[in-house]
Amino acid sequence: MSIARTPQPPYTAVIFTSLRTDGDNGYDVMSERMNRLAAEQPGFLGIESARDSLGVTVSYWSSDEAAAAWKQVSEHVIAQERGRSVWYADYQVRVATVTRSYGATGSR
Amino acid sequence: MSIARTPQPPYTAVIFTSLRTDGDNGYDVMSERMNRLAAEQPGFLGIESARDSLGVTVSYWSSDEAAAAWKQVSEHVIAQERGRSVWYADYQVRVATVTRSYGATGSR
């Protein structure tokens, strides 16, 4: 996982934080599949993710509409349902508009 | 680390993603100190953080102004400088306005 090379703002960030239940229960396979599938969607700009006691994943999209369309992709809908029922003890999704960005190698 | 109990949007999210250099070099002590210090600032709403190969930390603030004020706190300025020179091989900061939020226990 590396730092996403996003364009100049504005664009949309979907901040997904989660606490896992115990056991894998098919999670790792699904997680990799969803990362690949997200990257194929219109308007996908990048994804950044880390997990220790908490999981924090931020996906970047060209617009709120592009992020909302990904939420409705059928295979992703099934994964979300399994997330709620099996994989996640708790989670929160926050949709945000990125207005400024700066870093080690300048704005991106 | 648990999921932050943020209020109803809108509020500000500062998404900080980073790749560490090798070795601790005083990082863990500083990181805990900065988390404690951030929580004392006006407008602080919460923080969520995880690190594996990548570090992803999202801090939440009542406004862009509150987030900008934290960036200027002197002890934090020193930590940022040491981050750029010692701790981080690469990093990116994105300032965003959260517009929607939902989760396992409803909006928050």
- Residue A3 within any structural domain of the chain: no
- Residue B84 within any structural domain of the chain: yes
| B69 contacts chain A (CB < 8 A) | no
Report the DSSP beta bridge partners of residue A100: B95
Compute φ and ψ for B25, nearest 5 degrees. Answer: 50, 35
Q: Among B97, B102, B105, whose Cβ lies nearest the Cβ of A97?
A: B97
Provide the pLDDT confidence category of residue A54 given band limits of 50, 70 and 90: very high
- Residue A46 within any structural domain of the chain: yes
- Residue A104 within any structural domain of the chain: no
- Residue A27 within any structural domain of the chain: yes
- Residue A6 within any structural domain of the chain: no
Q: Among B93, B99, B104, whose Cβ lies nearest the Cβ of A96?
A: B99
- The Cα angle at residue B73 between residues B69 and B77, in degrees rounded to 5: 115
Domain residues for the domain of A46 are 11-98
Structural domain total, chain A: 1
- Cβ <8 Å between B56 and A64: no
Q: Among A50, A64, A104, whose Cβ lies nearest the Cβ of B51?
A: A50
Contact residues, chain A, for B102 at CB < 8 Å: 92-93
Query: What value of ipTM does the predicted structure carry?
Result: 0.94
Contact B65, B33 (CB under 8 A): no
Per-position pLDDT tens, chain B of length 108: 889 999 999 999 999 999 999 999 999 999 999 999 999 999 999 999 999 999 999 999 999 999 999 999 999 999 999 999 999 999 999 999 999 999 986 554
| A90 contacts chain B (CB < 8 A) | yes
Q: Which residue of A has its CA nearest to B81?
A: A104
- Residue B103 within any structural domain of the chain: no
The CATH number given to whatever domain includes residue B60 is 3.30.70.100
- Integer Cα distance of B2 and B72 in angstroms: 26
- Residue A63 within any structural domain of the chain: yes
